[in-house]
């Protein structure tokens, strides 16, 4: 496997993503990976690495700036800024998608996106912007403001993986998301994992000091398998 940092710009910032390339030389399906709220680190990079081991080209984007070292207050301000500006979230996602598509190993007709936490919201916004993504998977997304009418622009399949005990996606928010997907005619799924909190895919979540977050091994493994099942449908080579 080959890995490398990739510098690019979006939202007036210098950003540094992480590309992971599978062995071989041929064109492959590709996956854009968006990190959790606390920045691009081992969690998202591990996801990209696992995808590359399975034969996908994976690019873990950066939406904060890996050299920024944002404090708690700065990070919350950054998230509030992005969360209330879907057009900025979409522009950041577009910039990262362009980086991924510029890689020679990528089959541009077979591209998906996944995101964790706030990164899941960002990838959903990228899909709402009409990006040519065959599948979009959000792991423990949070509730976000957006233009529901834009969901009619979603071109691929959508999977939302949510913990039953996640206060950032309570039942009323889950119902609103379902209504939105249904009204937009999207091919969508929502998987609810009993007993799982926010950030259930991150083994380090129990160290966050947040009672709302925690690692849940079964939900982590089940949601990963659900993602791979969707990719098997959406990213299969043309016959």
Q: Is residue 83 part of a domain?
A: yes
Q: Is residue 186 part of a domain?
A: yes
Tell me the backbone φ, ψ of residue 174, rounded to 5 degrees.
-65, -40
Decide if 201 contacts 163 (C-beta within 8 A).
Answer: no
Output the pLDDT for position 143.
84
Q: Is residue 239 part of a domain?
A: no
Output the pLDDT for position 67.
66
Decide if 59 contacts 17 (C-beta within 8 A).
Answer: yes
Helices 86-101 and 118-128, packing angle to 10 deg: 80
Q: How many structural domains does the chain have?
A: 1
Q: Is residue 40 part of a domain?
A: yes
Output the pLDDT for position 73.
83
List CB contacts of 123: < 8 A, sequence separation 6 or more.
32, 34, 93, 113, 114, 115, 136, 137, 138
Output the pLDDT for position 71.
72
Low-confidence ranges of the chain (pLDDT < 50): none
Using a 10 angstrom Cβ sphere, with 0-12 exposed, 13-18 middle and 19 or more buried, the burial of residue 185 is: exposed
Q: Is residue 184 part of a domain?
A: yes
Q: Give the domain range for residue 28.
A: 2-234
Output the pLDDT for position 155.
97
Q: Is residue 117 part of a domain?
A: yes
Output the pLDDT for position 68.
65
Q: Is residue 15 part of a domain?
A: yes
Q: What is d(CA 214, CA 210) in angstroms, rounded to the nearest whole number?
A: 8
Q: Is residue 167 part of a domain?
A: yes
> How many Cβ atoms are within 10 Å of 39's Cβ, its own excluded?
18
Tens digits of residue pLDDT in 11-32: 998 999 999 999 999 999 999 9
Q: What is the CATH number of the domain that holds 186?
A: 3.40.50.1820
Tens digits of residue pLDDT in 78-104: 889 998 899 999 999 999 999 999 999
């Amino acid at each position: 496997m080959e890995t490398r940092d990739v510098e690019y710009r979006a939202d007036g910032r210098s950003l540094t993503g992480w590309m992971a390339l599978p062995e071989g030389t041929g064109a492959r399906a590709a996956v854009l990976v968006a990190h959790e709220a606390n920045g691009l680190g081992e969690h998202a990079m591990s996801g990209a690495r696992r995808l590359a081991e399975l034969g996908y080209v994976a690019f873990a984007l950066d939406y904060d700036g890996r050299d920024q070292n944002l404090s708690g207050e700065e990070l919350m301000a950054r998230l509030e800024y992005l969360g209330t500006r879907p057009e900025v979230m979409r522009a950041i996602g577009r910039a990262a998608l362009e980086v991924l598509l510029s890689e020679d190993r990528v089959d541009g007709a077979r591209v998906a996106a996944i995101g964790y936490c706030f990164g899941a919201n960002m990838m959903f916004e990228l899909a709402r912007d009409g990006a040519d993504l065959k599948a979009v998977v959000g792991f423990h997304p949070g509730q976000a403001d957006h233009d529901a009418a834009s969901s009619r622009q979603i071109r691929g399949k959508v999977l939302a993986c949510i913990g039953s005990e996640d206060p950032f996606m309570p039942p009323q928010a889950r119902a609103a998301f379902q209504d939105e997907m249904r009204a937009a005619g999207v091919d969508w799924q929502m998987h609810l994992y009993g007993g799982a909190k926010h950030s259930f895919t991150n083994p380090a979540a129990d160290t966050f000091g947040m009672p709302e977050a925690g690692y849940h091994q079964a939900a982590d493994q089940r949601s990963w398998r659900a993602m791979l099942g969707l990719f098997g449908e959406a990213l299969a080579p043309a016959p």
